[in-house]
Amino acid sequence: MATTYFSKRNLHFLLHEVFKAEELTKYDYFSAHDRETFNLVIDSATYIADTLMHPYLKDVDRNQPELKNGQVTVHPKIKEYLKAMGEAGLIGAGFPFEHGGQQLPEMISSTVGFIVMAANNGMMYTGLTSGAAHLITSFGSPELSETYVPNLLAGIWQGTMALTEPQAGSSLSDVTTSATPQPDGSYKIKGQKVFISAGDHDAAENIIHLMLARIDGAPKGTKGISLFVVPKYRPDGLIDNDVTSTGVYHKMGQKGVPAMHLTMGSNDNTIGYLVGQPHQGLPYMFQMMNEARIGVGMTAAAIATAAYYAALEYAKERPQSRRLNQKNQLDAPQTPIINHPDVRRMLLFQKAVTEGALSLLLEAARLYDISEVAEGEEKENAFLLLDLLMPVAKSYPSEMGVQSVSQSLQTFGGYGFTEDFPVEQLYRDIRITPIYEGTTGIQAQDLLGRKMTMKGGKAPQLLFAEISKTIADASTHADLKPYADQLTAELKRTQEVMASLMPYAQQGDIERYLSDATLFLDLFGIVVVAWQWLKQAVVAKQALLTQNPQSDELAFYEGKIHTMKFYFHYEVPKTLGLAVRLKDPEVLTIVTEKELAL
């Protein structure tokens, strides 16, 4: 198994050189921290990942959860991992001090998530717990916080998001789980939930579900959905709460995390506790969605990164054939496959995708932090930019991560298709990420249908202004200016595509306007990640000019610029074909009266 699964040097480059994470400590909320504390947290996460997670990557995959006699057993190392993360304060890294957290920026807490998911995404438990706890602290009563949050952040209890039902996946307006008010202010819950990650297991003493349900008599649709805390065991003595595990799904990947089918109220005795106000369940969930989608993007980027380093290590060690200019020299020794141009192309593609995606995600995390702690126009602009970038930050790492891991597997050749190496598992693991927390199609409709036009198009105007700053910085360096000019042309192309699509929206033909929204998301994602790569190249160029780096550091910075060039030469031109399709008046995907047989 590969010994390296992420680059701490790259993390430090992005956090401290590109995004200057320590500048967040100028805000009072983060003032207790500095660069040293940020790095200590990263070191702590790395230690746990190295000792309790990465060595068990295959073992967790091959010894998946089992449901027997109503009890779900998981790999024993998961309990150790949860305890270690709780004791290190990493489950509550981003929580306020008053809730027992470390009050760290999302930039740092999401970096922790990246590290542990790169090590072993089959232990995807703590992110679910912190998400559930965050909902309680944000919208629940002080009593709910006092009852549930300490044990959640300590890794003693597990948190889940119990949204999906057999008939209600992306369409949460169709949720039918019911909530009947009780005289003491609690509710009796009845219904079924499916695909609930970590929905039951023996590594935690209690499972705390944040569950969507409909109060009796509530309005139909999304306006009638409320949010409840529904524990497996009631906290007063850990009494059984009539939440039954009726099935565990056998998944393609991420097999270490049980995906549960849950039944509530089989004995009419499942008690739930309302979070916040009635009928506000979806608004509460969506307010947490930015954080959740950063988490999914980080998971995808992490898995793809682990696969990239496995492929890179293999390519350096695996001899095969001779270099192209020596193919007729049969007495020449075989060369490591990394010396073959096509293998280098695959590796550069993986590096471009993974490091570009991680940069975008840290950009989103930085905007999240500013939107939470800044004031006035700075706060508003950060939120608008974050809102605009969120569909890309979730979908680009997921969709392109799948392609990247595919190229990792291809680098291994036939060996990649076997269980002897980790990439076949990582290929299975990453495939769920374009589905989690809103499918790519949902993200595309959100971007084109709402984000690009909200507030008169202010968000894309802000984004293009930020990109223009990077273009200006790059233009001061002669060898970067051609790429700055290329990105300028891509901004113009994006605006032209929007101009060609807007008449459909203005005429009320929303189906036509959104018919190829996913292609627009692809185009927009390529441009946004090109911005991230140009931003990295500017910092690398400045370091080369001012620091006189030697050896490994020299190679690191030169590698950044080389990968940026690769991205602009190999990935950015793909926008040409996307733009042609998006501007074409003929549409082929809308159902007509005379639908073609499929």
- Which pLDDT score is estimated for 222? 87
Q: Is 585 helix (H, G, I), strand (E, B) or coil?
A: coil
Q: Is 437 an active-site residue?
A: yes
Strand runs (DSSP E) across 104-205, as ranges?
157-162, 178-181, 187-197
pLDDT in tens, 572-581: 999 999 999 9
> Distance (Å, rounded) from C-alpha 536 to C-alpha 551?
19
φ, ψ (nearest 5 deg) of residue 367: -65, -35
Alpha carbons 265 and 261: distance in angstroms, whole number = 14
Report strand pairing: 187-197 vs 259-264: antiparallel
- Predicted local distance difference test score (pLDDT) of residue 172: 77
Q: In the block, which residue shows the tokens 């990295």? A: 536
**Cα(489)–Cα(336) distance, integer angstroms:** 39
- What is the rounded (10 degree) CA torsion for 566, 570, 576, 579? -80
Residue 597 pLDDT: 58
pLDDT of residue 594: 64
* Dihedral pair phi/psi, residue 32, rounded to 5°: -75, -5
Catalytic residue among 437, 466, 558, 595: 437
Distance CA 65, CA 250 (A): 9
Contact call for residues 277 and 138 (beta carbons, < 8 A):
no
> What is the DSSP secondary structure assignment for residue 105, as one 8-state letter?
-
Nearest to 145 by CA among 186, 95, 190, 189: 95
Q: CA-CA distance, 582 to 484, in Å (whole number)? A: 24
Angle at the Cα of 404 from the Cα atoms of 369 and 480, rounded to 5 degrees:
65
Question: Radius of gyration over alpha carbons of the chain, in Å?
Answer: 25
The count of other CB atoms within 10 Å of the CB of residue 408 is 34
The amino acid sitting at 234 is R
- Residue 393 CB contacts under 8 Å (≥ 6 apart), including other chains: 293, 294, 297, 360, 361, 363, 364
The Cα–Cα gap between 49 and 46 comes to: 5
pLDDT (tens digit, 9 = 90+) per residue, 226-253?
Answer: 999 999 999 988 899 999 999 999 999 9
Q: What residues in the chain have per-residue pLDDT under 50?
A: none
Is-contact 385 459, C-beta < 8 A? yes
CB 244 within 8 A of CB 70: yes
Nearest to 540 by CA among 491, 477, 484: 477
pLDDT at 593: 63
